[in-house]
Chains A and B, each alone.
Chain A
């Protein structure tokens, strides 16, 4: 009898809670999540962003969108609200949460996702860090993660064993080895402000580089995104004079990883500044933004 009463009460309570929670998910966030001080700044930036017409749950999911996993995650957030003294700046997506969001990006941005998949950026940790040829020449170090694994929570020594010979090295966690190392959120911030007037429309024919100031670089060091129009312009040197380097935000973003040596010499180290008749061109004048494909091959762009 006692059991039955408990069962009925539990079912009732559960259905009340469930319906309450479902309603909660569909009302204006001003009345729900954004009431919390941890969330309100993110809510404000979302309102200004290109994604203002996408609901919170479309990217962040609900407690039930991924079974027990999401239930645990969301209840953890509620408990943290009550018991941790956290502010908005303390709250970061874990790498796993980031990858969840990325999957949801792909639901709408299918073409971009397909482009990324065929690009050199769709590398997994395994492909980056278990490259035998590279490893025999040089040992991986902490700063590899600045570009290859911006969201990795740990350092190179927690990622992989570097004991013994390069052939003995291995990534500790198999799941980690299969994760992509460079994702949407490496170059985009979903909450970044993006005035409606600058949004690209399907009939828009202006160059993508003019329309792309609202990419954001994820800065691993500070665990924050920086809008690419705020990146410091870098003078690239060719001989004794400065090469005509594009300073559009998109090119500055590329330059963060495809970077020259410390004296910023064109073509040095990982630099890909276009030279000669192509000088001054934005990366996106030739490369498609996600697949990195070029409409035609210009083999000497980066050298002459």
Chain B
């Protein structure tokens, strides 16, 4: 096993959180190694190929991971265990490349609302759920939201009356609505709702030496052809590298966090791009591998002081796995409501995020990202023919006539919705893989019915000739499983009490003094919002703490 030169910091995973952490540490003068199991994303490797895009993944995953090398296990309701790849919906896949999901995301840049940090206080305990307050408040995070917005680049305005107060304005003006956004915004205003232009991690004007958005259709699920979408791969990671202090080690799979006799993390054991086992030591380690892979890495790091995995002496690691059920409604219009000016989602309302009678939380509603032709061929109201002339006619007649209002529902965290490591199945490198088990809370389906009925009301008011709802309340049995998906969160919960949480309010693992987590894992609750900006803001806050205490 080769030993590398000791560094001050290691960051495992170059996604939304890890990229930010590497930047903060390196610019503060800390010698840092940033590990990534994938490579640098290449636009030309997939271009606008719907069948391998992050949205569909029919033939392959454009941004990794390789299907054959990274299996997972899905535990069915009856306990049977299936080995699955990223081709399966229940794999809960996150892109494996520098930038990870921030390369191909739809780039909505939401700040959570005050209530999102105080769910238990606001709504009370929910039976069967581990719903809780965060150990920090919106005000603790506000400066870091600003930092993320300015350093990574967000376009937006103050059109959302429900947004929590902000100190600094957005660095770029908001995007204009597309045709359906403009029309549905008018309908919403007529209904007394409060539509606004969605804040986006995309350039509405040229910013940071990169071009303005060209309103490409193949945006969400794809890399940007003109580099106008801001991910960590084209913002903070290049800044980190330019310091000369941050080395990005791609195609390296970290197998284990190494622990010394004092119970501190001494470094990582990893497999380099040639499959050779190596060790890298450091003073401090930040794990940012996504809610599933971070939990897996901690659970796979067993030592005498942490026999059940690092930070897992209280059996908390991997629990409370959450994501977002996407719910809402679709409506067919008798005129072309879509102008296909990308990426589709431009208009949102936050009227239903909180304080809905009988509902814990809620969610935003937005007009949706465009479906490309194959996705559209799979999307039909119940009872429509799945093939033949009638299917073709539907496709031809309705492609530009489908209006949608969709949003992520605030999910109720579940103790038993969890990531474990499988006792038998191992990946290409012989590392035990993620096993996913548990289910969603029954209240989630109730909440989806609520939000989708609101979406349907809007579409009916808009004059849709036919509407149907996406409630997710009748999951086919094959989709039994915990929530997660690309918004996966919660598996290393932040909190004051080591009996119910994994990290403290600075995202430091409770009983390991030099191990931090900077990804969705630490989120106590996942909001009724896309979580990426919150993950970035937390990573800024955590890394600043590391710089102040460990440099």
Contacts and interface: CB of A to CB of B under 8 A. Distances in A.
Contacts of A143: 43, 225-226
Contacts of A139: 209-211, 227
A83 interface: no
Interface of B: 40, 42-45, 47-49, 206, 209-211, 214-216, 223-227, 339, 341-342
B47 A221 contact: yes
Given A155-B42, A262-B341, A141 B227 contact: yes
Contacts of B214: 261-262, 269
A240 to B, nearest CB: 13
Given A142-B44, A155-B43, 10 more contacts: A138-B209, A138-B210, A141-B43, A141-B225, A142-B227, A143-B225, A145-B44, A155-B42, A157-B42, A263-B215
B44 A141 contact: no
A154 interface: yes
A250 B527 CA distance: 52
A155 B339 contact: no
Contact of A263 (B206, B224, B341): B341
Interface of A: 137-139, 141-143, 145-146, 154-157, 220-221, 261-263, 269
A263 B211 CA distance: 18
A141 B342 contact: no
Most interface-central of B48, B223, B226 (chain A CB within 10 A): B226
* Top 10 A-B pairs, shortest CB-CB distance: A143-B225, A262-B215, A142-B43, A155-B44, A221-B47, A262-B341, A141-B227, A141-B226, A155-B42, A143-B226
Nearest to B228: A141
B206 A138 contact: yes
Contacts of B342: 262
Nearest to B210: A139
Nearest to B223: A142
A143 B47 CA distance: 9
Question: Of residues A137, A145, A262, which shows the largest number of chain B Cβ atoms within 10 Å of its Cβ?
Answer: A262
Nearest to A219: B47
A154 B42 CA distance: 9
11 contacts: A138-B206, A139-B211, A139-B227, A141-B210, A142-B42, A143-B226, A145-B44, A156-B43, A262-B215, A262-B341, A262-B342
> Which of A143, A155, A220, A261 counts the most chain B CB atoms within 10 A?
A143
Contacts of A157: 40, 42
A38 B40 CA distance: 34
Nearest to B40: A157
B225 A142 contact: yes
A146 B227 CA distance: 14
B207 to A, nearest CB: 11
A220 B49 CA distance: 12
Given A141-B226, A155-B42, A221 B48 contact: yes
Contacts of B223: 142
Contacts of B47: 220-221
Nearest to B44: A155
Nearest to A145: B44
Contacts of A269: 214
Contacts of A141: 43, 210-211, 224-227
Residue among B210, B215, B225 with the highest chain A CB neighbour number at 10 A: B225
Contacts of B339: 263
A137 to B, nearest CB: 8
A162 to B, nearest CB: 9
A141 B233 CA distance: 14
Of B40, B206, B227, B342, most buried by chain A (CB within 10 Å of CB) is B227
Contacts of B42: 142, 155, 157
